[in-house]
């Protein structure tokens, strides 16, 4: 079973700050997911990445497969970025199954 | 192309009643995954289904819970004789038929079950 650890668990920052959320996993994978859960509870898939870096607007995700580590960055953070950010890896390391999730990082961006 | 649709969004049941949660995957997707998020906890995998087949149910509680994904119609997660501890958000995700990897995660909005 893949163990997924996220840090920090809680993060409060001021508007405009650069945000970094970290994720490490125990079993080698082919791809890792970053998800965003808004206060209303809905989940949005932000990124799926298998190598290098992906960018979408102010969000950047990086992954180092050898080190089993990924980071999610938010540039010029804004209060609307306040949400829970969750990283997820394949349940048992890459087979035809679901995801195992980190506990999430609760991010609050204060104006 | 509508996203993954779950209904109802909110469901209230009394202890001992049955709860039925529905998930319609994205058009063309034949893989469905159910996850549960207990209060103050992260998401946990429950079951993975393809049309008319349960592929992996290792995350399902042994009793009272069942899931199906018929040839026609939505996937159903059924909880019999609900207890207060079943109160949670239940999420469904779907993916296209991609062989052996879960390549994309398309999530529904979830069903929030409250057992009173």
Count CB atoms within 10 A of the CB of residue A109: 20
SS3 of residue A24 by DSSP: strand
pLDDT digits (tens, 9 = 90+) for A40-51: 777 888 888 888
First vs last Cα of chain A: how many Å apart? Answer: 40
Instruction: Determine, for residues B89 and A44 on separate chains, whether the beta-carbon distance falls below 8 Å.
Output: no
- Tell me whether B69 touches chain A (CB under 8 Å): no
8-state DSSP, A67? T
- Is the CB of B9 inside 8 Å of chain A's CB atoms? no
Region A71-81: mean pLDDT is: 97
Partner residue facing A96 (CB), from B41, B101, B107: B101
**Any CB–CB contact under 8 A between B72 and chain A?**
no
DSSP 3-state percent helix, strand, coil across chain B (nearest 5): 5, 50, 45
**For A84, which residue in chain B has the nearest alpha carbon?**
B42
Q: Cis link prior to B8 (omega < 30° from 0)?
A: yes
A32 with A48: CB under 8 angstroms?
A: yes
Identify the CA nearest to A87 among candidates A74, A106, A105, A65.
Answer: A105
Q: 10 Å Cβ neighbour count for B116?
A: 10
Residue A109 · residue A14 · CB < 8 Å: yes
Listed by number, the residues of chain A in 14-43 with a beta carbon closer than 8 Å to a beta carbon of chain B are 30-31, 33, 35, 41-43
**Which residues on neighbouring strands pair with residue A105, listed in sequence order?**
A85
| Cα–Cα distance measured from residue A3 to residue A24, given in angstroms and rounded to the nearest whole number | 8
Q: Tens digits of per-residue pLDDT, B22-71?
A: 999 988 888 898 999 887 777 888 998 988 999 888 889 999 999 999 99
Compute how many other C-beta atoms are within 10 angstroms of the C-beta atom of residue A107. 21
Confidence at residue A96, expressed as pLDDT on a 0 to 100 scale: 40
pLDDT of B95 over the 60 cut: yes
Q: From the list A88, A90, A96, which residue is nearest B55 (CB)?
A: A96
User: Would you state the pLDDT for residue B2?
Assistant: 67
What pairs with residue A2 in β-bridges?
A: none
8 A C-beta contact, residue A54 and residue A47? yes
How far apart CA A32 and CA B88 sit, in angstroms, is: 25
């Amino acid at each position: 079973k893949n163990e997924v650890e996220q840090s920090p668990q809680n993060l409060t920052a001021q508007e405009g700050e650069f945000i970094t959320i970290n994720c490490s996993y125990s079993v080698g994978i082919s791809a890792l997911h970053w998800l965003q859960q808004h206060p209303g509870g809905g989940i949005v898939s932000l990124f799926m990445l298998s190598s290098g870096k992906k960018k979408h607007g102010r969000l950047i995700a990086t992954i180092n497969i050898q080190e089993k580590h990924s980071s999610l960055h938010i540039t010029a953070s804004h209060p609307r970025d306040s949400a829970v950010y969750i990283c997820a890896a394949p349940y048992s390391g890459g087979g035809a199954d679901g995801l195992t999730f980190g506990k999430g990082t609760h991010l609050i961006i204060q104006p | 192309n509508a996203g993954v649709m779950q209904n109802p969004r909110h469901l209230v049941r009394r202890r001992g009643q049955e709860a039925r949660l529905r998930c319609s995957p994205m058009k063309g997707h034949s893989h469905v995954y159910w996850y549960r998020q207990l209060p103050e906890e992260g998401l946990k995998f429950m079951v993975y289904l393809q049309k008319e087949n349960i592929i992996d149910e290792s995350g399902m509680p042994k009793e009272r819970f069942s899931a199906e994904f018929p040839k026609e119609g939505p996937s159903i997660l059924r909880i019999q004789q609900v207890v207060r501890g079943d109160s949670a958000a239940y999420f469904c995700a779907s993916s296209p038929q991609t062989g052996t990897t879960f390549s994309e995660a398309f999530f529904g909005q979830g069903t929030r079950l409250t057992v009173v």
